[in-house]
Amino acid sequence: MIGIAIDGPSGAGKSTIAKALAARFGFIYVDAGALYRTVGLFMCRAGISTEDTEGFIKNLDKIKVEFRYAAGEQRMYLCGEDVTGEIRTPLISKYASVVSAVPKVRAFLLEMQKNIAKTNNVIMDGRDIGTVILPQAQVKIFLTASAEARAARRVAQLAEKGEIVSYEEIFASICERDARDSGRDVAPLKAADDAVLLDTSAMTLEEAIAAAEKIVKEKLEME
């Protein structure tokens, strides 16, 4: 099986680029962050505070996380309920980030991620795909962009949807998440030694996709 790992901070364009590559190469796309978001949603609904690590651990055995594919899209299920839309809110981003710093939560989601790559050609995006989940991946890309570029893109994306938000607020929340995701003890956000670094700060989306595609082709020795 072939594995492509794309890691990097939030807002670097990992999922957009990974989806484009998955379609281009016919691989299954796995969004690892969605698994942490689904666990985070459960904790949020259960009224557990973002500080309550013990509460997260105690509730893990009540959670059933699954992902299924419909029309080529990954959909997330929490105890049988489709929560694909609900996990994309700022509050759940925060919950996902805090639950993902807890080793028992990471262990809970580990096998599921490894298993899918055993039986499928996959392109997975996350924070520790190249280092922990698929250390054997044939292609590893560490996708990054400056916090300023990521914040500006996010503001533009939201504006397209009609949501007007302040750049300063988005910038601050990106910096806060970066610090938490990189500073944690377990599986911190960090490039694998054999990852190719791709900084998209000064690239358009099309340029970033083309650059990522070139890396994949070179690594897989394709024409």
Q: Residues in the site for ligand DC, rule: CB under 6 A?
A: 10, 32-33, 36-37, 96-97, 100, 126-129, 177, 181
CB of 103 to ligand DC, least distance (A): 11
Residue with Cβ nearer ligand DC (37 or 154)? 37
By beta-carbon proximity to ligand DC, the closer residue of 41 and 128 is: 128
The nearer residue to ligand DC, 199 or 217, going by C-beta atoms, is 199
Please answer whether residues 76 and 65 qualify as being in contact, where contact means their C-beta atoms are separated by less than 8 angstroms.
Answer: yes
Q: Which residues of 196-212 are buried (b: 16+ CB within 10 A; e: fewer)?
A: bebbbeebeeeebbebb
**What values do phi and psi take at 189, rounded to 5?**
-65, 115
Closest distance to ligand DC from the beta carbon of 69 (Å): 18
Alpha carbon separation from 220 to 22, 25, 60, 119 (Å, rounded): 14, 11, 38, 19
Rounded to 10 deg, the angle between the 167-183 and 147-160 helix axes is 130
**Shortest Cβ distance from residue 28 to ligand DC (Å)?**
16
**Closer Cβ to ligand DC, 49 or 182, answer by number:** 182
132: amino acid identity, one letter: V
Q: What is the residue whose two structure tokens read 């939201």?
A: 158
Smallest distance from ligand DC to CB 210, Å: 22
In terms of CB distance, is 3 or 181 closer to ligand DC? 181
What is the nearest approach in angstroms of ligand DC to the Cβ of residue 155?
Answer: 16
